[in-house]
Amino acid sequence: DSGVTQTPKHLITATGQRVTLRCSPRSGDLSVYWYQQSLDQGLQFLIHYYNGEERAKGNILERFSAQQFPDLHSELNLSSLELGDSALYFCASSVGAGELGETQYFGPGTRLLVL
């Protein structure tokens, strides 16, 4: 158990809908990262937040948004969902601002299925 929690574990929804995925980092960690793992594209970095501020953006669609709250938990919002958004969404956390050698600890993931 990494200490990173993600809810819900599974989510089934329909195209066009909006969902929110939640992540609580390890105690003491200030950074949260979001990743998407789909069958055809592997693991893709989406976005990184540090202490409430966005620090880096990866391949995140405009339909997706994220934020990190003062208590350091983070939410990933996915809107206008498409079939291709079906994937496993991981959250990871690290203690600092994402310095080069910092270890990221991954949560168990949220499996999203868009029908």
Partner 1 sequence: AQTVTQSQPEMSVQEAETVTLSCTYDTSESDYYLFWYKQPPSRQMILVIRQEAYKQQNATENRFSVNFQKAAKSFSLKISDSQLGDAAMYFCAYRSGKGNQFYFGTGTSLTVIP
List interacting residues with partner 1 (CB under 8 A): 2, 33, 35, 42-45, 48, 55-56, 58, 88, 90, 92, 98, 100-101, 103-106, 108-109
Q: Which one, 14 or 111, has the nearer CB to partner 1?
A: 111
CA distance 14 to 45: 24
Q: List, as one string, the DSSP characters of 30-66.
A: -EEEEEEEETTTEEEEEEEEETTEEEEE-S--TTEEE
3-state secondary structure of 84: helix
Q: Which one, 38 or 79, has the nearer CB to partner 1?
A: 38
Q: Which one, 44 or 67, has the nearer CB to partner 1?
A: 44
CB of 86 to partner 1, least distance (A): 15
CB of 88 to partner 1, least distance (A): 6
CB of 16 to partner 1, least distance (A): 27
113's CB contacts (< 8 A; 6+ apart) are: 10, 11, 12, 13, 86
